[in-house]
Structure 1
Amino acid sequence: MKYILLIFTLFVGLQISAQETTGSIVGKLTDKELNNEPLAFANVLIKGTTLGTTSDFDGLYEIAGIDPGTYTIVFSYLGYETIEIPNVEVVADKVTNIDVPMSASAGLALDEVVVTTVARQDSEAALLLDQKRAVEIKTSIGAQELARKGVGDVATAVSKVTGVSKEEGSGNVFVRGLGDRYNVTTLNGLPLPSNDPSRKNIDLGIFGTSIVQSIGIDKTYSIGNYGDFAGANIDIVSKDYNGSGFLEVGLQSGINTVATGEDFYLNEGPNYSGFYNTNSPEFPLNNYNFTTSWDREDGGTPTNIGGSIRGGNSFNLGENTRINFFATGSFSNRFQYREGINNGGVNIGTALPNSEYDYVGYRYSTNTTAMGNVGLRHKDHSIKYNYLFLNTSTQRQDEFEGIIDREDDAPQGGGFVQRATFERNTLFVHQLLGEHGLGNRFDVKWGAAYNFLANKVPDRRQNTVLPDNNSEPNGPKSFRLVSAASSNHRFFQDLDEEEISGNLALTYKFKANEDDDFDGKLTLGYSGRFKDVDFEAEQFNFQILLRDSNNNPIDQPLVDPRNIDAYFNQENLVNGLYQIRTFRGPLSFAGALEPQFYNGSQDIHAGYVNFEYKVSDKFTMLAGIRGEQINQSINWSTVIQGEGSNELDNFEVLPSVSFKYALNEKQNLRLAASKTYTLPQFKERAPFLFQEEVNQDSFGNPDLQSSTNYNFDVRWELFPSASEVVSLTAFGRFIQDPINQITVASAANDISWANTGDNATAIGAELEVRKQLFEIEKETADNILSESLTVGANFSYLNTNQKLDPDKIAEETTFTVRPTFTETNLSGASDFIVNADVSYFTELREDRNFQATMAFNYFSERVFALGSEGRGNLIDRGVPTLDLVTKFQLNKHLTFGLNAKNLLDPSVERYQDDASSNIDPIFVERGVLEEEVDILTYKKGIDLRLSMTYRF
């Protein structure tokens, strides 16, 4: 209760809106003369306007961009009775649904017409309609559903979809057990760069849902997408605007229960805005020229705040031309606190971790977003420009106390390690998109993008102090027994990724039918993607000296772990207590100041042919083939392997087929099959030692090769109503030369990447149910009020297996590692994923309502990295989450909301598994780990947020 009271005192929120958006009319026309079969190509007009459309093969129609008001809608079809429906109200940001049965004779009864109002085009109903129409197997989540579930970022949004789970502590997602390397992320159909050298995809958590109209998750391969795919193509569709002018401003605030309950500490140097940067000093080796402190500082009151402004407008330029604008900007921050254990690699004989820490971590993150677009539409032609700017930052103060090395440093405990890290990502996206109708038979669609991303880690600081006497772990501390120069360091990293991409598709429609439409479509297309990556890193190690130049012992002083600045300074450098050196060596080494680096380029040229044909009213097929020429080259200069280079040069032929069979107007049966590939990432091939985490180093494997994937899906789906769906999907993946993250024998559970065997399989099933349990209308003296209860749930089961080949790993890697098991699961794969939500809505009177949604998510345990040398796999335990989102609209101006995230507050845990079965026979004699050992545990706390909005 104290946290709820605190959040009320901390919160100030205001939203000013002068918004008048447009609405839409959608519906279905049926033929009473043919047992209410869908009526295609009937005319639908808004009387007294130029707005209108025709119904499609399924009898479905849509008229968008209608100003709010009351209209008469006219339905007509040659030889049928024309029907006029008067007094149809179009509401801003809503979709009015009108289903009309038509016949050749007069006498339509008004009760045969069904008129309902639902949310706008990005509503669940509208997206389900799009899912029903599509030939491919696809799923979408829109702005309405995101708001109902209180989703704040794209990573969390995607994790609400069947078979998708989110990796703890990042915006990386797993789709059907397949992780980052198997997925593709696009913005409006064009590729996005990664903000992390270890990832293929950009962190979805940095995209706030305020810029999102909808998110499409295609789990089957579409021939128009790049072939580096096996999990899903996640396409973020940015907000578009076609209504009247509006301006909206908002503020919000909240707390995290764990962060608020503790003193909070951060790094000296970075500011609260997230735009901090600094470069390494001049002459860093012969003088102490570092200006930021080694020691932590007070992080202030950990209160989460945010602010946003957005607006848009659209208007006509003449009778057939319309222009629209939309822009949004926002800033938000977040405080987090973690406390638990953090351990290193486990000794097989003793089952004890080599390093064993009590751990606390303080985190402060920011997100600054600016997005704008302008669109121009003239008859059958449209051009749109999109701009996106993102600046995200994470500041971390991590502290570890305990055994640093059971055989060396602080073997009985008493060691202290602290690391101060600031990481910043800045992304610029420019997109130009166009669609053109050239007569009745030809359509042209194109897009071009320029992306630039900068990832910076300026001045990461780590220091390590040990007991001055190992037999007194709680006694005085010093640097006297610190032997590794890198134990105390400052690190500077810069990653720049620049990319140009483009798509072009020409569609020819053929075989005109009696309804003036076409049964066939032939599409020819080209895609190009040209990426350059530049990575550079400098590390300045502070090596403790025990003897001077005359070989006399140096008397190292005692130090205060909370006052490291008193030791690392110019005076002690001059006095010879320590020296500063780089990866390569001290100042006396030639080239000591040359940074380590890797540079890479990836060029992809692709051409494709896609053929869509409606064989009958019920059966539609889609078949295509794509050819991609891929060249991925990398060169490096690192301490691990010196200078070198490597190149992948592949040509891939990628066929794909999809079939849709309409069992009836409410049920579809779909089938899809395709061949794709998976490329390794630059970091996975670069022989550079990445030390992103204490107790977790990684380095690349230059000999890593791409994988080949064969994909199969079959789905049955039922649409009981416009807002309901039931679907059942079976799927399979066969992967040749799978790439896995694997632990390397070391004290710190170091990891690398390898093609761990000849093949792997992933077979599973998914069930999704979205159902409205009831909707009640209550008549009062003045109004008809509604009350409804809606539930949704999806379940995913997955079985993965791969046979590991130690000889293949030995031949295709430059390091020595032998997997513990002969076969195991794929890394990242959870056997079970469950998502569920229940939403209650009630109108208390006109302009007064209450809505509450409870959302639950669970994924079962999954492999983080494959075990080696007799140790079991590193396993992340399953995590359940429960969120509550409430909104109370007091009147047409004032709305209150309270969100509570992660109500269960489960412990996040990783453990080293035992090696009890399927072990390599060689370890029968060598010995294996026979019990589970915890490696990492902490809790995230509960996030509380109070909101208040006011609309004029």
Structure 2
Amino acid sequence: MKLNFLATALLIGVATYAQDTKTIKGHIYDAANNNEPLAYATVMLQNTEFGAEADENGYFEIACPKGTYLLEASYLGYQTYTLPYETDKTNEVTINLIPESDSLDEIVITIDKKKSTETALLNEQRKSLEIKQQIGAQELSRKGVGDVAAAVAKTTGISKQEGSNNVYVRGLGDRYNSTTLNGLPVPSNDPEKKNINLELFSTDIVEYISIDKTFSSKNTGDFGGGNVDILSKDFKDNSLFEVELGTKINTNATSKGAEFLLPQGPSKLGYANYGVPNKPLSGYHFTNSLQPQTAGPIGGNFGVRAGKSFLIGNTGKLNLFATASFDNAFTFKEGINQSASAQGAKLKSFNQEKFSQTTNTTGMFNANYHINDKNRVGYNLLYINSSDLSRDTYTGTDRDFEGDHDALLVQRGTFIQNTVLINQLLGNHTFNNKLGFDWAVSYNTIKSDMPDRTQNKMFYWKDTNNYTIAQRTITDNHRYFQNLKEDEIAANLALNYKFGSTENGSEKGKLTLGYNGRVKNRDFEAIQFNFRISGNALNSTVNPNNLDTFFNQQNYDNGLFNIEAFAGETPQTYNGEQNIHAGFANVEYRLTDKLSAVVGMRYEKINQTVKWRTQLDAQEKNNEFNRNEFLPNLSFKYAINTVQNLRLAASKTYTLPQFKERARFIYEDVTEIKVGNPYLYPSQNYNLDLKWELFPNSDEVVSVAAFGKYILDPINEITMASSTNDITWVNIGDKGYVYGAEFEIKKQIIDFGGANKNNLFAGLNVSYMKTDQEINREKIQKETNGLINTNFNFDRSSFTGASDLLLNADISYVKNWNNDKALTATVAYTHYSDRLYALGVEQKGNLVDKGMGSLDFILKTNLHKKVAINFAARNILNPEFRRIQDNASGQINAITYKRGAFFSLGAKYTF
């Protein structure tokens, strides 16, 4: 059915242009710059939909029916050029555009600014020999997107898991994807994740985001779903100074008012200067109070951006740009959090309330020195400090805490601080018309600290309306400290050689030889201090909001409780080292005027070593593997005409396990425990893509794609068959696969006319996919030497995190006036269908996140060329999130909550 749909779409597209056509060819030159080629200028046939954009050599081709036309060439900052043209002519057209201004510097600035516009990115997508998808600063602004995670979730085939920072590309989660900044890798801020949280990257620092769903030999071979490359701002104007202020609210949070309580400890800016106390087992030396404090719940943001350009000599130009911003937000959600047996009996049944405050402090500085047309060097510095402070309360029942009490109360206070520091040095050099060299190096540091997570359990007695300390195991009441530090050095080197030539003077082919290197080191340690409550003290009445009256030095001295930890004051640790050195060769070649090919080969030498000392292995142990990977890739592009392409891509890649997944380290949450598997090993991926795309006008696109992935030894998170039902990671079966189709359209619906832009624009992207994998109990037991046992009652399943259907739709009204006033109003809707969260075990049903949608409204206005006012309303429909346990006897709610609606108002002033 899906293949028939794709074939029909392709036939319709070809038939549309199968009529008797002529091709108009020509070059566009810059009259103010020694008649240099004017890249990306627009050429249209007036009163028709036929047109093109010039390539980097100023060359263009327009396929159109026979006839007489008025040719119109234009470029922002230049005078429009018109020329009558008859298709019977065979000579090429030569156009020299004249600037509207006498200032050449100003003209050059205008040209460079087009790189992040929707028109420029669609043009690059059209011309690229590889399958690309990009979203730029202009589109991000129109859709009111504030961070990179939300940005990529607006693109075809990509979704973000509710309640986490996991991004899924074509149904494949974190382990199958990769993240880069300006082409260089970025380390993770989470010990359980391969990729950094994309929410950390504010769109203020973004020029555009490129999403590669097909593998290229220039990218890392640890690739399955896609690579997200964030291109940082590249300032080109003469000068800039902007200040922005805003406020934001969450309707759930504001409804709590003075009852919005958060743990004490970190500063309001999201920084903490405390950690494990001195001599923690010899007294109660913890400095943070257990008494929650009233906070918020109204958030806000502040930002300042500045840039300046300097001319150096006759050909040089130095562009400096800096931005600094801070924002915080408050959220509240409430609902069911429970688990049940296969027969439906409640094992744990709580009503959960979660109060949260998040902060993000971002600073970026970059300097780009354009020495001349052939040499450019740049430096990027990025600093991010993010924090998440939350207070969770669980009220209800737990089968392990049966008794005469009326309810069990679990309180957990958590603060996580992530600090990211990225340094990059990049260069591009053109030695002559044939030979060029690109290089980039980076040194990155990530620190992620959980400096004092607290947990306490209490019994509630309805007859006296009192609470007492609850204890079934020593870990029920504890304080936990965790920190991670990861350093990474990376380098990219690429030598490019152009060869052959076409009739218009451009090259037929390009050979690229290169090297990529990554050296990563991670240190992780954690220690938990458990409070053993004495028998008499368990009857003591306590106030849940003032536990300092019980946990204090005096009661410690009186023997009401003591403090214990694994291996005394020695923390549990694991250390990871990963070295990847790769060489690659890539050939791009134009086989005919319409058919081009890319052939690449990548070799990677991989070494990964993990060492650990934990409560499972008191003596230090280690695990190491070495791999040699040969990774071919092949892609074809057939240009049906100047506005229509057919593409095919195939490749082989792999997927590595992560450090923590292979270390025998236990991480305990309120409702689950995770432990590593030292026998985990990489999976192998075979990828195939087919795509048809049409670019009716400069800012419009229609595309249909089909894709398939065949995965050997897929890695999955599972629940072990044990008394505690711990979670671990395994190579779950011999094979799995993903296949699906994608459709995208961006189209102007109505042009209301007038001298300035006044139109209605709409976009829609839809993805439909299926995933399937084998589940082999014997394979798991054999490959782990009996360490891991499972008890599945099925032998196949879909991939966790994958939705069959993803949909994004938006409609925008854009109106500009001559006096620098503008208005953009956008309505955007996102929907995902049911997705598997976790596989069931021992007859218990799978955990499934039910499908849901989100509706946003964004209004952006320029009241003056210096003043802008923005308003956004997100999650307007406020749907209920539901995770169900799909038992044979029926569905049971596992987690339910509503996020509330989010409203923000901001103002920007440009000096």
For residue 273 of structure 2, what is the aligned residue in structure 1?
277
2:837 to 864, 867, 876: 864
2:658 to 681, 704, 723: 681
**Where in structure 2 are the equivalents of 1:933-952 lying within 5 Å?**
933-952=892-911
Any idea what SS the aligned residue of 1:828 has? coil
Counterpart secondary structure, 2:138: helix
Q: Secondary structure at the match of 2:154?
A: coil
What CA distance in whole angstroms lies between the structure 1 residues aligned with 2:464 and 2:782? 48
Aligned residue in 2 for 1:825: 798
Question: In structure 2, do the counterparts of structure 1 residues 74 and 314 end up closer, same or farther at CA, with 3 Å as the change threshold?
Answer: farther
> Per-residue deviation at 1:871?
1.3
Q: 323-332 or 873-882, which moves further after superposition?
A: 873-882
Q: Which amino acid aligns with 1:636?
A: W
1:649 is matched with which residue? 626
- Residues in 2 aligned to 1:303 and 1:437: alpha-carbon distance in whole angstroms: 52
* 2:433 pairs with 1:440: yes
Letter in 2 for 1:463: N
Q: Is the 8 A contact 2:405 2:459 kept in 1?
A: no
The separation in 2 between residues aligned to 1:616 and 1:828, in whole angstroms, is 42
Q: How does 1:882-921 map to 2 (within 5 A)?
A: 882-915=855-888
Counterparts in 2 of 1:598 and 1:94: CA distance versus 1, 3 Å: farther
How many pairs are equivalent?
858
Q: For 1:932, what is the secondary structure of its paired residue?
A: strand
For residues 608-641 of structure 1, what are the alpha-carbon distances to aligned partners after superposition, in whole Å with 9 as ceiling and x for unaligned? 1111110011000000111111111101001123
Match of 1:332 in 2: 327
Hey, what's the Cα distance between the residues in 2 that align with 1:89 and 1:749? 72
- Secondary structure of the 1:518 match is coil
Match of 2:642 among 656, 660, 665: 665
The residue that corresponds to 2:153 in the other structure is 159
| Residue in structure 2 matching 1:493, options 482, 485, 496 | 482
> Hey, what does 1:807 align to over in structure 2?
778
Query: Of the candidates 252, 260, 267, which is equivalent to residue 263 of structure 2?
Result: 267
Residues 450, 483 of structure 2: 8 Å contact kept: yes
Mapped pair 1:37 → 2:26:
no
- Which letter does structure 2 place at the counterpart of 1:835? N
Question: Which amino acid letter does the alignment assign opposite residue 616 of structure 1?
Answer: T
Shift of 1:379: 2.8
- Secondary structure in 2 matching 1:241: coil
AA matched with 1:370? G
Deviation of the 1:901 alpha carbon: 0.7
**Is structure 2 residue 180 aligned with structure 1 residue 198?**
no
| CA distance in structure 2 between the aligned counterparts of 1:50 and 1:798, rounded to whole angstroms | 50
What letter matches 2:264 in structure 1? E
Of the three residues 590, 607, 629, the one matched with 2:583 is 607
3-state SS in 2 of match to 1:205:
helix
The answer (yes or no) to whether the contact 1:46–1:71 under 8 Å persists in 2 is no
Q: Which one of the candidate residues 533, 537, 542 is aligned to 2:531?
A: 542
Q: CA deviation at 1:82?
A: 5.0
Q: Report the 3-state secondary structure (helix = DSSP H, G, I; strand = E; otherwise coil) of the residue aligned with 2:115.
A: coil
The corresponding residue for 1:312 is 307
SS of the counterpart of 2:346?
Answer: coil
| Identity across matched positions, percent | 43
1:527 equivalent in structure 2: 516
Deviation at 1:196, TM superposition (A): 0.3
Instruction: Specify the alignment match of 2:768 in structure 1.
Output: 797
Partners in 1 of 2:157 and 2:407 — Cα distance?
A: 44
Distance change (3 Å), C-alpha of 1:159 and 1:601: same
**Partner residue, 1:464:** 457
Matched, 1:387 2:381: yes
Whole-Å separation in 2 of the counterparts to 1:415 and 1:473: 15
In the superposition, relative to structure 1, how do residues 355 and 667 fare at CA in structure 2: closer, same or farther (>3 Å)?
A: same
Distance 1:526 1:217 in 2: 22
1:406 and 2:399 are equivalent in the alignment: yes
Greater Cα shift, 272-281 or 236-245 = 272-281
Aligned residues of 2:525 and 2:571 also touching (Cα < 8 A): yes
- Stretches of structure 1 that go unaligned for 5 or more consecutive residues are 1-33, 98-115, 547-552, 585-591, 779-783, 916-929
> Any residues of structure 2 matched to 1:182-261 within 5 Å, and which?
182-261=176-255
Q: Give the partner amino acid of 1:618.
A: K
Residue 478 of structure 1 corresponds to 468
User: 2:763 and 2:254 mapped to 1: Cα distance?
Assistant: 34
Question: Could you tell which deviates more after superposition, 67-76 or 763-772?
Answer: 67-76
1:550 matched residue in structure 2: none
Contact 1:215 1:237 in 2 (8 A): yes
**Residue 31 of structure 1: aligned partner:** none
What amino acid is aligned across from residue 263 of structure 2 in structure 1? N
Secondary structure of 2:347's aligned partner:
coil
Q: 2:511 matched to 1:511?
A: no
Deviation at 1:474, TM superposition (A): 7.3
Does structure 2 retain, via aligned residues, the 8 Å contact 1:72–1:87?
Answer: no
Query: Counterparts of 2:839 and 2:424 in 1: how far apart (Å)?
Result: 40
What amino acid is aligned across from residue 224 of structure 1 in structure 2? K
Establish whether residue 621 from structure 1 lines up as the match of residue 580 from structure 2.
no
The reply on whether 1:741 has 2:717 as its aligned counterpart is: yes
Verify: 1:768 aligned to 2:768, yes or no. no
Distance 1:357 1:90, change over 3 A: farther
Code of the residue aligned with 2:793 in structure 1: it is: T
Once the two structures are superposed, what CA deviation does each residue of 1:175-198 show, in whole Å capped at 9, x if it has no partner? 110000000100000000000011
* Separation of aligned partners in 1, 2:236 and 2:171: 39
- Counterparts of 1:185 and 1:801 in 2: how far apart (Å)? 26
Q: Does 1:178 align with 2:172?
A: yes
Q: How many Å apart are 1:324 and its aligned residue?
A: 1.1
Amino acid at match of 1:856: Y
In the alignment, residue 528 of structure 1 is paired with which amino acid? G
How far apart, in 2, do the equivalents of 1:188 and 1:294 lie?
43
Q: What is the one-letter code of the residue matched to 1:793?
A: L
- Secondary structure of 2:273's match? coil
| Contact in 1 for aligned 2:322/2:364 (Cα 8 Å) | yes
Given that 2:777 and 2:789 are in contact with CA atoms closer than 8 Å, whether structure 1 keeps it comes out as no
1:493 is displaced (CA, Å) by 0.5
Q: Is the 8 A contact 1:68 1:90 kept in 2?
A: no
Of 694, 697, 708, which aligns to 1:732? 708
Distance in 1, matches of 2:253 and 2:539, equals 37
Equivalent-residue separation in structure 1 for 2:447 and 2:411 (angstroms) = 26
Match of 2:675 among 691, 699, 705: 699
Pair 272,803 (structure 1): closer, same or farther in 2 beyond 3 Å: same
Give the whole-Å Cα distance in 2 for the aligned partners of 1:93 and 1:84: 18
Give the structure 1 partner of residue 68 of structure 2. none
- TM superposition shift of 1:120: 2.9
Cα deviation, 1:402-454, whole Å, max 9, x if unaligned, reads: 11x22434587411111111000001000011111111221111110100000
Q: Is the 8 A contact 1:410 1:467 kept in 2?
A: no
Q: Which residue of 2 aligns with 1:9?
A: none
Q: Distance in 2 between matches of 1:536 and 1:759?
A: 35
**Contact 1:735/1:760 (CA < 8 Å) preserved in 2?**
yes
The secondary structure found in structure 2 opposite 1:572 is: helix
**Aligned CA distance change for structure 1 residues 876 and 46 (closer, same or farther; 3 Å):** same
Q: What does the per-residue CA deviation read over 1:166-224, in whole Å, with 9 as the maximum and x for residues that have no partner? A: 11123321011000000010000000000001100000011100000000000000110
2:204 aligned counterpart, secondary structure = helix
Contact map agreement 1:656 1:673 (CA 8 A) in 2 = yes
Q: What SS does the aligned partner of 1:178 have?
A: coil
Partner of 2:283: 287
Aligned to 2:694: 718
Whole-Å Cα distance in 2 between the matches of residues 494 and 473 of structure 1? 43
Structure 2 CA distance for partners of 1:52 and 1:485, relative to 1, 3 Å: same
Rounded Cα–Cα distance in structure 2 between residues aligned with 1:521 and 1:685: 41
Q: CA deviation at 1:555?
A: 7.2
The CA deviation at 1:354 is 1.1
**Structure 1's 498 and 86: CA in aligned 2 closer, same or farther, altered over 3 A?**
closer
Contact 2:28 2:97 in 1 (8 A): no
RMSD: 2.9
**1:367 is the counterpart of 2:326:** no
Specify the code of the residue in structure 2 equivalent to 1:365.
Answer: T
| C-alpha deviation, 1:72, in angstroms | 8.2
Distance between the aligned counterparts of 1:255 and 1:535, measured in 2? 36
Aligned counterparts of 2:104 and 2:323: Cα–Cα separation in 1: 20
